[in-house]
Structure 1
Amino acid sequence: MENRQSITGDTLIEMGFKSGKWFKEALEHINENRLEGDALQEYLEQFKSPDPIRLHKSNIPFSINIKAENELEVTNVNSVVETMEVLMKTPTLVDGAIMPDACPTGSIGTIPVGGVAVAKNAIHPGMHSADICCSVMLTDFGTADPKDVLDAAQSITHFGPGGRDRNTQFRFPMDLLVEIEANYFLNDQKCISAARSHLGTQGDGNHFLFVGTSKKTGNTMLVTHHGSRGFGANLYAKGMKVAERFRKELSPETLKQNAWIPFETEEGAQYWEALQIVRRWTKKNHEVLHDAILEMLGIENENRFWNEHNFVFRDGDLFYHAKGATPLDKKFMPDITGPRLIPLNMSEPVLIVKGETTNSNLGFAPHGAGRNVSRTEHRKRKTGTFQEIFKEETEGLDVRFFSNEIDITELPSAYKNAETVRNQMKDFGLGEVIDEVLPYGCIMAGDWKKNAPWKKRRRDR
């Protein structure tokens, strides 16, 4: 009887297979059953790597709901369109749009702020970014004095890095904790610790607590703006790692920032559910602040609604990645209770809008005013002391910084012209303004880095 030479790992590699954990079990099966010829090929068929998924040869068309109205905006719009053209070559994408507040962020091919990218059966963590579910909530405080509301809010809210100490933490909802512990992406000590300590915190940057009055009713309104804090950032980091594993296997040509998790996998289902849990946490994060302020003032909530503008929304097998875009279509929001909110800057009204889905807006509106230049560039362009700039731009407003340090990159001049954004909303059919929250004042983080603990230690040395 002819001796048959054993098949080895080297044999499989010579046949074009990549070394993997499956080698050991497969080799045992092949050699025990003395597979060769067609029988060997048929058995190995299950281990063949799929052909790589190629980029679209040309970008998928997308709607441009923005126009440049001065020389500075020409550069911004061109940059946004250029990055979208690269982005829309990603294999999973089938549609896209950019809003009037669009501005580039990151390397070319990265979804811009004010961008919407629609993927089929795929979730792209890089297209919702680390600030998952950045959102706004409004509560109607009736006839309360705006100053009283702002004073109470200042004593309750929390800006800056990190979370609350144990003595000032809000009670954590046990039903939410159960959901977190049941999810593969969220059930670790780092995530759970952030979820607990960051509840009732607002972060930094453009996040704010805004008090104003309804143009229609005169009632005092409280609006908060923030995302999922460290809890969501942890999910994003894990999601990017899983997406990168799939990218290497499925589509190495795809840019790393545009890697995706196939929805029809166990990881995809778990990640989608994790996003919903983070969404519920973020809504609760707004609610605990609003409710605590109501309680301090002894006021009953007259109305409340909210919307995210940095999330992934699902419609069947399509996943709408909105990076700084407000959902108009109620199909995107399972808990819809009212119109949508679009803040512009601290000296302008928060817009209360409603709108219909069109082929060009894909069911979305802008999320704010956006920027034409970076924070660094804005600082370079300003002259005068921070105090002088602050006084000029906030005249008549009660503007406070939680860190007691002025951040001029959050003053009105740092943003696009609010009237331009409103005009383009009307021109492109991006929502109808049905009321406005006229500004009284706001609280923001401010330049918390100026007196950060590590800088104080450095100065002391």
Structure 2
Amino acid sequence: MTMTHDSPAPITGTHLIDWGHRPGPGFADLLVRANTAREHGADLAHVRALLAPELPPPPPVPLPLRGEGAVPLHVSIRAENVDEENNLNKVMATMREVLRTPTVEAGAVMPDACPAGPLGTIPVGGIVAARNAIHPGMHSADICCSVMMTDLGAVEPKKVLDAASAMTHFGPGGRREGNRFAVEEDLLEAFHANPFLRREKTLAATRTHMGTQGDGNHFLFVGRSRSTGRTVMVTHHGSRGPGAQLYKEGMEVAERYRQALSPTTLRQNAWIPADSTDGRAYWEALQLVRRWTRANHTVLHHAISTAVQASVVERFWNEHNFVFERDGLFYHGKGATPAWGSYADDASGRVIIPLNMAEPVLIARGRDAAHALGFAPHGAGRNFTRTEHRRRMGAITPEAQLAAETKGLDIRFYCGKVDISELPSSYKRANTVVQQIGEYDLAEIEDYIDPFGCIMAGNMPNRSRRPRYRAT
């Protein structure tokens, strides 16, 4: 009589899952290895031990939100009337929620602070210092929104404004073929090499949006220096399409980390760990977009100064929607200007602070105030929404209100229609902002650029105006 022995029961995917393995590309190979060992006489305990080195790392323990008040908040703003008080209450409420984000170690608000989204969204005029974390939502879609000034010497302001009207480009989209400014080849190559910037939509915008200013509160301002009498031009805009695409990509990656690391963190405050492969690539992408944005300002300044045959005295710039690394922390400024002289290789220690179209642009030297996390205001900010401002205008026409608020100034709207939400009355009182800059020792004002006039985007028609300027 011949005796037979039953073969051992095969190991199934259920066994592997029970042992902690997860289905994926290597799962089938694990099953083959497990059953081969089993056929060679290994019992279940030995097979489990054999495969143990292949176990995935344990999921991270979710980071809890910080308790309210656990993170210091430095406040450099005070209210002087009901509108300002209502605005400040909203700013403080949203900042308290922002500071519950697990990565955050300090926050600050500037005199121009105002809400910029749902509760828990960093406000305009807000600064957040985070450890090992880059928060795309805290620099916003308008990455590297910034201002550049050029001292044009003795040229007449109207001549500059006329040339600028013909050369600049406001509104959606970019310049058409034949009216574009060139982008440096090595910068395009760097965009191609970066995983956050290599998509065709981003690369196309890199080319077509060079020399454009967008819409909203972006502007081209011409005035005279109070200290020298020379004509000065100031532009305000950001990274346009390339920055918007980077923001979109960054938020998608940050959301994946949020779900794994801290699901209770608000979506708008998701972050990319700075020491991760994604974090390093995103940081590099931010620097490339910063470089593109500086070029975006520069091509306009160069073309206009050349057209009016100006003898350029000096030119400098600073950003106010960006992330800055300092002393091991990542400082996110949303509508806030870095006020220390070493934040970048091209930083000068001076800052440009526009107020509104009827007030001077301030040229100041940053004070690097510790109680403000080293920042200064970026402008005047708002006390209420654009919609509320329109409601308060009542029956008066935009044209009449513009004339009343900007008497003697040459104010132009690129698309032809007055945007009343950009009139001086829609912003905080300029003298209050200036006073609080001094009161909180945020910057030392060195000069005032008194306004001659400016160009704003204006209310957009269905199709943006074709630029008259032909770039060379």
- Indicate which of 10, 19, 24 corresponds to 2:14: 10
Distance 1:28 1:206 in 2: 63
Instruction: Give the drift of 1:11.
Output: 3.6
Q: Does 1:416 align with 2:428?
A: yes
The change in CA–CA distance for 1:14 and 1:307 in structure 2 (over 3 A counts) is same
Q: Does 1:390 align with 2:402?
A: yes
Question: Residue 17 of structure 1 contacts residue 48 of structure 1 at CA under 8 Å; is this kept in 2?
Answer: no
Instruction: Give the drift of 1:429.
Output: 1.5
Question: Residue 131 of structure 1 contacts residue 229 of structure 1 at CA under 8 Å; is this kept in 2?
Answer: yes
Question: Partner amino acid for 2:361?
Answer: V
The change in CA–CA distance for 1:92 and 1:7 in structure 2 (over 3 A counts) is farther
Instruction: Give the drift of 1:47.
Output: 2.8
Instruction: Give the drift of 1:334.
Output: 1.9
Question: Residue 99 of structure 1 contacts residue 366 of structure 1 at CA under 8 Å; is this kept in 2?
Answer: yes
Spell out, residue by residue over 1:133-180, the C-alpha distance to the aligned partner (whole angstroms, 9 max, x if none). 000000010001000010011110000000000110012211211111
- Structure-2 residue corresponding to 1:201: 212
Q: Show the 5 A alignment for 1:47-446.
A: 47-58=57-68, 59-337=70-348, 339-383=350-394, 384-446=396-458
Distance 1:323 1:311 in 2: 7
The change in CA–CA distance for 1:221 and 1:26 in structure 2 (over 3 A counts) is farther
Question: Partner amino acid for 1:114?
Answer: G
Instruction: Give the drift of 1:337.
Output: 3.6
- Structure-1 residue corresponding to 2:468: none
Question: Partner amino acid for 1:331?
Answer: S
Structure number with greater Rg is 2
Distance 2:349 2:370 in 1: 23
Moved more, 352-361 or 106-115: 352-361
Instruction: Give the drift of 1:340.
Output: 0.8
Question: Partner amino acid for 1:198?
Answer: H
Distance 2:258 2:94 in 1: 20
Unaligned runs of 5+ in 1: 455-461
The change in CA–CA distance for 1:41 and 1:307 in structure 2 (over 3 A counts) is same
Question: Partner amino acid for 1:36?
Answer: A
Distance 2:199 2:259 in 1: 26
The change in CA–CA distance for 1:365 and 1:21 in structure 2 (over 3 A counts) is farther
Moved more, 21-30 or 394-403: 21-30
Distance 1:53 1:25 in 2: 34
Distance 2:35 2:454 in 1: 73
The change in CA–CA distance for 1:90 and 1:453 in structure 2 (over 3 A counts) is same
Secondary structure of 2:105's partner?
strand
Question: Partner amino acid for 1:413?
Answer: S
Instruction: Give the drift of 1:300.
Output: 2.9
Spell out, residue by residue over 1:302-351, the C-alpha distance to the aligned partner (whole angstroms, 9 max, x if none). 10010000000011431100000011012322212461100000011111
Distance 2:37 2:392 in 1: 76
- Structure-2 residue corresponding to 1:459: none
- Structure-1 residue corresponding to 2:469: none
Question: Partner amino acid for 1:103?
Answer: C
Secondary structure of 2:281's partner?
helix
Instruction: Give the drift of 1:295.
Output: 1.2
Residue-pair matches, total: 452
The change in CA–CA distance for 1:73 and 1:4 in structure 2 (over 3 A counts) is farther
Spell out, residue by residue over 1:191-240, the C-alpha distance to the aligned partner (whole angstroms, 9 max, x if none). 11001000000000000000001111011000000000011000000000
Distance 2:406 2:311 in 1: 30
Instruction: Give the drift of 1:7.
Output: 4.5
Instruction: Give the drift of 1:44.
Output: 5.4
Moved over 6 A (4+): none
Distance 2:115 2:98 in 1: 12
The change in CA–CA distance for 1:44 and 1:379 in structure 2 (over 3 A counts) is same
Moved more, 141-150 or 11-20: 11-20
Q: Normalized against structure 2, the TM-score is what?
A: 0.92
Question: Partner amino acid for 2:436?
Answer: Q
Question: Residue 160 of structure 1 contacts residue 204 of structure 1 at CA under 8 Å; is this kept in 2?
Answer: yes
Unaligned runs of 5+ in 2: 39-43, 465-472
Distance 2:360 2:281 in 1: 39
Q: Report the aligned-residue RMSD.
A: 1.9
Distance 1:158 1:36 in 2: 71
Distance 1:284 1:149 in 2: 20
The change in CA–CA distance for 1:153 and 1:44 in structure 2 (over 3 A counts) is same
Distance 2:446 2:161 in 1: 25
Secondary structure of 2:141's partner?
coil
Secondary structure of 2:255's partner?
helix
Distance 1:302 1:33 in 2: 79
